[in-house]
Amino acid sequence: MTFNYMVLRLGAKPDYKTHIVATFYIESKISLSRAAGEIAAESSIGTWTELKTLRPEVARRLAAVIFYLNQKTGIVRIAYPLEIFEPGNIPQLLSSVGGNVFGMKDLKNLRLLDLDFPGKYVRSFLGPAFGIPGVRKFLGIKKRPIIGCIMKPKLGLTSDEHARLAYFMWKNGIDTIKDDENLTDLSFNHFKDRVRKVIALKRKAERETGKRKMHVFNITASPDQMLKRAKLIKQFGGECAMIDIVTCGFGSVEFIRRQNLGLILHGHRAGHATFTRNPRHGITMLVVAKLARLAGIDELHTGTWVGKMEGSSRGLKEINNFLKNKWYGMKTVLPVASGGLHPRLVPKLINLVGEDVIINAGGGIHGHPSGSEAGARAMVQAVEAVEKGVSLDAYAKIRPELREALKYWK
């Protein structure tokens, strides 16, 4: 490549205050250094050939720099001047570092492993409005894991059935309930009807239990429709809206966050595995988590490791730790564990991810042999056992719901 002199500076030390640093894994048909050069050029200011329009002074100032390259591992690190990125614009960022480069024919596989952002770029985003402390304050839960329930079947319940089921879940100890990822505004369960009826019964459950409860309504749609639905939640006195962040796009998430509606934003990651699952190609869930935090998500699905979804314990810890740690003053994000969870898995999950988590169960509650109410009590009892340092089997001796769940899910 004739313009490699612009970008290949192995051993250089980038200024992390003025550059975004991308870490890639590369498999290529050409040499690793040449492949890295093509990626750096394509994702910054270059292209496949020399350009008469590119002035040397511009190239020196704005070109991406390859400062690390490992022939054995295929790991490459590239520093991009912050000047080539628009502040507060995730789509533009991804069009650069996660765009055309994935279609280059000289590459066999390419994976964006991580992105490191300078404080100036991070602070150009609003980030979460509530974060972990805000969600906990709303629910009045200071320390323990938050117990969540997903409505099942994910499609098929009427708005009346949905509201009644939610009420009984709250009455039996569940803290927060959510729509599933594909339940929006459907002929048998219209969004407005669901919001109105659920919130009415939520208030009843709160009066009867003396505890705050929450419902996560799925507003996923085009940005204009999402805004209408979010305002409707607010109008009826709801507190939380869910967005399928991958299918809607980060620009849509940013748009809703900028409205400052005072709603907790719950991020579902439906569709992420289309590009996160292959360990040799695509974009990691860690990158998705960083972008979700920038965009303003308060609660984010990150996986379970112990459930039905693919993912490693190491990767899950890394993602959850990032969401919970300090980041240039931006608020934290509450991880959501969801996918194939049932009471028997609760100790392993909490041991892995800690107490700052929403434990979201769907089939693990509604699939209980004695029904959903017994399933809710069993899940609550499993969390109680862990919090008290008691084994599930011991705790289940005088708790029939948990005992039945442990027998059913071996």
Measured over the CA atoms of residue 405, residue 135, residue 212 and residue 216, the dihedral's sign is negative
Among 152, 178, 290, 366, the active-site one is 152
Contact (Cβ atoms closer than 8 angstroms) between residue 282 and residue 111: yes
Triad 200, 201, 204: Cα angle to 5°? 100
The pLDDT, as a whole number, for residue 307 is 58
Q: What is the CATH number of domain 4-122?
A: 3.30.70.150
The pLDDT, as a whole number, for residue 5 is 42
Contacts of 187 (CB under 8 A, 6+ apart): none
d(CA 1, CA 41): 10
Contacts of 155 (CB under 8 A, 6+ apart): 180, 182, 183, 186, 189
Burial-class residue 351 by CB neighbours within 10 Å (0-12, 13-18, 19+): exposed
The pLDDT, as a whole number, for residue 356 is 96
Per-block mean pLDDT, blocks of 10 residues, the chain (410 long)? 58 92 97 93 78 73 91 97 97 94 94 98 98 97 96 96 98 98 97 98 98 98 98 98 98 98 97 93 97 98 72 84 97 95 95 95 97 98 97 97 96
d(CA 231, CA 162): 21
The pLDDT, as a whole number, for residue 4 is 45
Q: Is 268 a catalytic residue?
A: yes
Following DSSP, what letter does each residue of 18-50 receive, concatenated?
Answer: TEEEEEEEEEESS-HHHHHHHHHHHTTT--SS-
d(CA 98, CA 22): 10
How many residues are present in the chain?
Answer: 410
Two structure tokens written together for 266: 């719950």
The pLDDT, as a whole number, for residue 49 is 67
d(CA 166, CA 155): 14
Class of domain 131-408: alpha beta
Residue ranges covered by each domain of the chain: 4-122, 131-408
The pLDDT, as a whole number, for residue 53 is 72
Among 162, 202, 213, 268, the active-site one is 268
Same fold, 4-122 and 131-408: no
Q: For 182, which DSSP code?
A: T
Two structure tokens written together for 293: 């935090």
